Amino acid sequence: MKAVVQEEYGSLDALEVREVEKPAPGDDEVLVRVRAASVHPDVWHVVSGHPYVLRLMGAGFFKPKNPIPGTDMAGVVEAVGKNATQFQPGDEVFGETIGSMQWINGGAYAEYVTAAEECLALKPANVTFEQAASVPTSGYIALLNLAEVGQLGPGQEVLVNGAGGGVGALALQIAKAQGARVTAVDSTKKLDLLRELGADQVIDYTREDFTKRGDRYDLIFDIPGNYPFSECRRALSPDGKYILIGHEKFGESGKRTLGLIPHFFKLMFLSLFVKQLPKPNFSMPSKKDTMVVFRELLEAGKITPVIDRTYPLSEASEAIRYLMEGEPQGRVVITP
Ligand SMILES: NC(=O)c1ccc[n+]([C@@H]2O[C@H](COP(=O)([O-])OP(=O)(O)OC[C@H]3O[C@@H](n4cnc5c(N)ncnc54)[C@H](OP(=O)(O)O)[C@@H]3O)[C@@H](O)[C@H]2O)c1
């Protein structure tokens, strides 16, 4: 089969399409013929090998253990392992090819990939393969972090900073689906997209600083983390919560060794004294449960992924570069 191959960490230009052996499903896995695989910042992390700590976290010390990038995909089941009972050849599925929440390659930028069946769900008929492939990892991050503050509801004011990106667009829509009123912050050209996604109010970060408007929110869901917590706090109600996702801006943050990990430890420490920071919670929902939630949300039309551009497998490096530099309005997807 054809696959994008990454022999070493470093430049996007080193990615190339090669003929490699088609994988065989393990006992609990299914083999999927990939129809679409999405591009997200964690793909860049593993291709570049930054921050360095990811090499100690399972990605591979000197070079990637799995040479084929990509983790989120949608496609058609080709074969199933002997213990896999949920799916049959011909089923249209979407999901992740890695079971953990790690910076590792998952093999999705290929014509075929294997995945644990618990990381997959049937693709709803009302969404395309491209749309379905864009949801799993960014949706998991959005759902996991929104769950930190419990179920949102009518009357609650939520601000999503960076709402036009992969995680933000889903956080916005999930918060709306739960009944909250959402203020979405992003750059000028994404404001129409944010309105389309259901934002009640939009703020252009190039013109206005949301921390100085005098408005108060029950939740600030902060993706870029461009203001310190002390400034975001001005925009929180007394019982409001602040959640940081963090974004290394494809290396621009300069945190090449540990990334944002020290900053998260600082917030975890502060959470012992500041009630607006949720206490660390190490219980994570299973991928299986979250895939069921995504399927339901997609099927009900409560989340609608927007695709900006698709690229063929042979242009995977251009696709990642476009995510980094092109300010996409919606998701970037690779179609083998
Ligand atoms: N998406 C995933 O599947 C995924 C998976 C694992 C981890 N993550 C992590 O989650 C984080 C976010 O990922 P993402 O996919 O949402 O990234 P993204 O698609 O790059 O989105 C970031 C958004 O923030 C906006 N932004 C940049 N500067 C801003 C500012 N000063 N104020 C407000 N908005 C600003 C960007 O807009 P402009 O660039 O147009 O300014 C963009 O719309 C990353 O750290 C990533 O590593 C994401």
CA distances from 234 to 201, 210, 215 (A): 19, 9, 9
Q: Does a structural domain hold residue 282?
A: no
Give pLDDT, residue 222.
Answer: 98
Q: Does a structural domain hold residue 44?
A: yes
Residues 257 and 309 reside in one and the same domain: no
Protein residue with least CA distance to atom 39, ligand 1: 327
What span, in angstroms and rounded, lies between the C-alpha atoms of 123 and 298? 9
Q: What is the whole-number distance in angstroms between the Cα of residue 247 and the centre of ligand 1?
A: 6
Q: Where is the domain boundary, 270, 290, 322?
A: 270
Q: Does a structural domain hold residue 223?
A: yes
Residues 146 and 110 reside in one and the same domain: no
Give pLDDT, residue 284.
Answer: 82
Q: Is the CB of 245 under 6 A from ligand 1?
A: yes
Q: Tell me what the mean pLDDT of segment 198-216 comes to.
A: 98
Q: Does a structural domain hold residue 175?
A: yes
The two three-digit tokens of residue 280, written as one number:
């660390």
pTM for the structure as a whole: 0.95
Residues 9 and 126 reside in one and the same domain: yes
Residues 115 and 200 reside in one and the same domain: no
| Chain segment 237-258, per-residue pLDDT in tens | 999 999 999 988 888 877 888 8
Residues 83 and 206 reside in one and the same domain: no
Residues 23 and 108 reside in one and the same domain: yes
Look-up of token digits 């020290």:
262
Q: Which atom of ligand 1 is nearest to the CA of 168?
A: 16
| Chain segment 76-108, per-residue pLDDT in tens | 999 999 999 999 999 999 999 999 878 999 999
Give pLDDT, residue 200.
Answer: 98
Percentage of the chain lying above the pLDDT 90 cut? 84
Residues 255 and 320 reside in one and the same domain: no
Q: Where is the domain boundary, 270, 287, 313?
A: 270
Q: What is the whole-number distance in angstroms between the Cα of residue 21 and the centre of ligand 1?
A: 34
Residues 145 and 36 reside in one and the same domain: no
Least confident of 33-47, 105-119, 274-288: 274-288
Q: Does a structural domain hold residue 295?
A: no
Give pLDDT, residue 149.
Answer: 85
What span, in angstroms and rounded, lies between the C-alpha atoms of 325 and 321? 6
Predicted confidence band of residue 42 (pLDDT cuts 50, 70, 90): very high
What span, in angstroms and rounded, lies between the C-alpha atoms of 92 and 61? 35
Residues 102 and 147 reside in one and the same domain: no
Mutate to test the pocket of ligand 1, among 40, 208, 255 (most ligand atoms within 8 A of CB): 40
| Chain segment 135-150, per-residue pLDDT in tens | 999 999 999 999 888 8
Q: Is the CB of 138 under 6 A from ligand 1?
A: yes
Q: Where is the domain boundary, 246, 270, 294?
A: 270
Least confident of 25-39, 66-80, 88-102, 114-128: 88-102
**Please, where are the H alpha helices in the chain?**
41-48, 129-133, 136-146, 166-177, 191-196, 229-232, 261-270, 287-299, 316-325
CA distances from 46 to 80, 185, 313 (A): 28, 28, 17
Q: Does a structural domain hold residue 10?
A: yes
Task: Using alpha carbons, select from 31, 35, 4 the residue that is nearest to residue 318.
Answer: 4
Name the average pLDDT for the chain. 95
What span, in angstroms and rounded, lies between the C-alpha atoms of 128 and 223? 26
- Are the C-beta atoms of residues 104 and 67 closer than 8 Å to each other? no
Q: Is the CB of 168 under 6 A from ligand 1?
A: yes
Q: What is the CATH number of the domain that holds 249?
A: 3.40.50.720
Residues 142 and 51 reside in one and the same domain: no
Domain count for the chain, please give it.
2
Mutate to test the pocket of ligand 1, among 43, 167, 183 (most ligand atoms within 8 A of CB): 167
Q: Does a structural domain hold residue 107?
A: yes
Least confident of 11-15, 132-136, 196-200, 305-309: 11-15
Q: Is the CB of 211 under 6 A from ligand 1?
A: no
Q: What is the CATH number of the domain that holds 48?
A: 3.90.180.10
Residues 47 and 117 reside in one and the same domain: yes
Predicted confidence band of residue 265 (pLDDT cuts 50, 70, 90): confident
Mutate to test the pocket of ligand 1, among 50, 138, 170, 333 (most ligand atoms within 8 A of CB): 138
Give pLDDT, residue 148.
Answer: 85
Residues 197 and 213 reside in one and the same domain: yes
Task: Provide the domain limits for residue 26.
Answer: 2-134+305-335
Q: Does a structural domain hold residue 299?
A: no
